[in-house]
Structure 1
Amino acid sequence: MSPFTKPALDLDGQIALLQARGLTIRYPERAKSYLEVISFFRLSIYMRPFQIPNDVEHKFKNNVEFKSIVDLYAFDRELRLLMMDAIERVEVAVRAMLNNHMGIKYQTEEQNSGSHWYLNKALFHRDYDHNRMLSDVGYCQSRDHEQLMKDIQKINNKNVTDTAKERHINNRTRESYPRFYQHTYQSPPLMPSWAMVEELTFGTISHIYKGLAKDADRKAIAKRFSTPQDVFQSWLHTLHFVRNCCAHHSRLWNRELSISPKVPNGKEWVLPETLVPSQVRPKHRIYMVLLMLAHLMRQISPDSQWHNKVKALILLHPAVPLAPMGFPNNWREHTFWGGEDE
């Protein structure tokens, strides 16, 4: 291992370094404005397609302009926003469908059976970490309740009337359901399922779905999305990963999925194993995720124009290479994007 010796560079130094590497910067002051709000480090990953492969000095190919890098970054940012929009709607629908199915199906004459179905360990696989899930729900409640107690203490220390204090405390109590539940009810100790599915992370919801003991339950939920249950389970895992990429502003454009989602049967899912000449595998790239989201959006909101927004974004950035995303040459002919242009 060698010591790290790279110095911190100011904006002028960063511009000089890029120019020394062969990048054309027509408007240095404008470029400095970009580097001031989008770090050199964040932009550097978008520079790689424009640099000479395996060059130790990171030299740029001939006639590459700074504008091309910024355009690619802007495209990736807009792509993340579009994908996050669809994933959010899918996520909300999955949460609702999970509880709607399980709560109604397992509502019996026994008290709290349907409202708290997730407390029943028998509804989950033996290898599912049921206690950890309950611990996550309990943490959500206790965290919010502790904050409520602090708020109540502050309110009680204020020099206002008792009526005003009571009103303020009531407002604080109702700001979130976990704090309201723990402050209001004694039994069961944990909140009802319709609140639980809204409070846990999407990753935890994905594991709950995977952990359901009965095939019939997983199939019934997946059927609402017109997707086989094993495929749907795989998709939830992939969407959780992509959601985290979007939430952390990470690059999507040419990202390779470490674990590719399962592909359903059907002609609309037939993709080339590799693209020529890039050798990119579409099933391992963002194109596959876009197809997944286009399909799921059709099930959730048949009138949605999300697929047209994706198409418009691609056409708005003709200089962005599509092969690294896994787009085949005939992608516009695919039924999910509306078929061939008229």
Structure 2
Amino acid sequence: MRNFTKPVIDVEQQIAVLKQRGLSIQNEAKAKLFLQSVSFFRLSAYMRPYQINHDPTHRFRSGATFKQITQTYEFDRKLRLLVMAAIERVEVSVRAVVSNYLGPKYNNPHWYLDRKLFKQHYAYYRLLQTIDRKQSDSLKSYQRESQRIDKARDKSAQDKKALKVRRAKESYARHYPLTYSEPDLMPGWAMLEELTLGDLSHLYAGLAKDADKKAIARAFGLSMPLLESWLKTLTTIRNICAHHSRLWNRELGIKPELPKHSSIAWPDYQQSTRDNTRVAVIVSLLQYFMLQISPHDDWKNDLIALLNTYAEIDQARMGFPEDWQYDPFWSTTI
């Protein structure tokens, strides 16, 4: 352990440091604008592929340019947006499948209030507390809005009443406690919409009956362990994207299960390497989901177009072999 002694440096000094380390900066004015918008610290993660390995002075390789670094940053930003778009589709679809299966099976709009449907180790009461807090916070927000409406001097009593009715319907989390007294919490189909992807993943993993989990997984053509693993993985990836963290060449801290049966479409190159630590496996499982839930979407084409547009990006660092897009998996249609 040692004391931290690195000094604070402004943008001008940051540019000087980069030049001193051997980075070519053709347009310093543009570089300054970029560093004013994207911090030096955030950008440093994108510098590493262009620096000499294990050099304690962080020297850049010969020919490395500031433009290469900013292009890598822009590629990663666009990749995250594309990945988030697919995760959104998956998340919405899983919510719908869980709701459409469990509600009718147990003939109960409030099925999740039955403790027996969940494993003993599942954080069941945290789920209830989450939904209760959502309703409580939304109700308090409505009450504050109602007080502001009541104080408005430019509205008639009739207008105020109509406005409060509209405000009450703006979210189900406030509409339910304003409308119903029993049960205390909203029905399952609304509850699921209030959960984060992580909450949804935990709920699926926490279901007590394997028959329920298998039925939900079958809706996506998957086994129960695969769906459970993939939801956990996508939760991690979503959090990376939501925090605008580097994704493109990241070695994943979580390894999703890979399909073991030929009945599940999967790239041949991943069947042989079984590499599940890079972003290549993430886009493969997202493409699998897209084939199930939105087969006519252009997501796959958008991904390939992005990688072709940034042809200078080292796709091997993402876990892709050469000519990966010609694998039969990427031409699969339903």
TM superposition score category, shorter chain reference: over 0.9
Q: Does 1:124 align with 2:118?
A: yes
2:224 & 2:272 partners in 1: Cα distance?
27
* Residue 334 of structure 1, CA deviation: 1.7
Q: 1:294·1:336 contact (CA, 8 Å) conserved in 2?
A: no
Q: Which of 152, 159, 170 in structure 1 is aligned with 2:146?
A: 152
1:288 & 1:323 partners in 2: Cα distance?
12
Choose between structure 1 and 2 for higher RCO, CA contacts under 8 A separated by at least 6 residues: 2
Q: Which runs of 5+ in 2 are unaligned?
A: none
Q: Which runs of 5+ in 1 are unaligned?
A: 108-113, 276-280
Name 1:207's counterpart in structure 2: 202
* Residue 274 of structure 1, CA deviation: 9.3
Query: For residues 1-342 of structure 1, what are the structure 2 equivalents within 5 Å?
Result: 1-107=1-107, 114-159=108-153, 160-266=155-261, 268-271=266-269, 282-338=275-331
* Residue 270 of structure 1, CA deviation: 4.6
1:194 & 1:12 partners in 2: Cα distance?
54
* Residue 306 of structure 1, CA deviation: 0.9
* Residue 338 of structure 1, CA deviation: 2.1
More deviation, 255-264/153-162: 153-162
Deviations 1:21-42 (A, max 9, x none): 0000011111111111111111
Percentage of identical aligned residues: 45
AA aligned opposite 2:121 = D
* Residue 269 of structure 1, CA deviation: 4.7
AA aligned opposite 2:76 = D
1:201 & 1:68 partners in 2: Cα distance?
36
1:96 & 1:195 partners in 2: Cα distance?
10
Count of residue pairs brought into register by the alignment:
328
* Residue 272 of structure 1, CA deviation: 5.5
Give the superposed CA RMSD: 1.6
* Residue 271 of structure 1, CA deviation: 4.2
Q: 2:23·2:65 contact (CA, 8 Å) conserved in 1?
A: yes
Q: 2:268·2:327 contact (CA, 8 Å) conserved in 1?
A: no
Q: 2:87·2:234 contact (CA, 8 Å) conserved in 1?
A: yes
Q: 1:50·1:64 contact (CA, 8 Å) conserved in 2?
A: yes
1:169 & 1:26 partners in 2: Cα distance?
58
Deviations 1:195-217 (A, max 9, x none): 10001111111111111111111
Q: Secondary structure at the match of 1:128?
A: coil
AA aligned opposite 1:144 = S
* Residue 330 of structure 1, CA deviation: 3.8
Q: 1:271·1:282 contact (CA, 8 Å) conserved in 2?
A: no
Q: Secondary structure at the match of 1:290?
A: helix
Q: TM-score, normalised by structure 2?
A: 0.95
Name 1:278's counterpart in structure 2: none
2:241 & 2:8 partners in 1: Cα distance?
28
Deviations 1:228-251 (A, max 9, x none): 111000000000110111111111
1:130 & 1:66 partners in 2: Cα distance?
51
AA aligned opposite 2:177 = Q
* Residue 304 of structure 1, CA deviation: 1.3
* Residue 180 of structure 1, CA deviation: 0.9
AA aligned opposite 2:147 = Q
1:33 & 1:140 partners in 2: Cα distance?
41
More deviation, 315-324/157-166: 157-166
AA aligned opposite 1:153 = Q
When residues 23 and 274 of structure 1 are mapped into structure 2, their CA distance, relative to the original with a 3 A threshold, is farther
When residues 272 and 291 of structure 1 are mapped into structure 2, their CA distance, relative to the original with a 3 A threshold, is closer
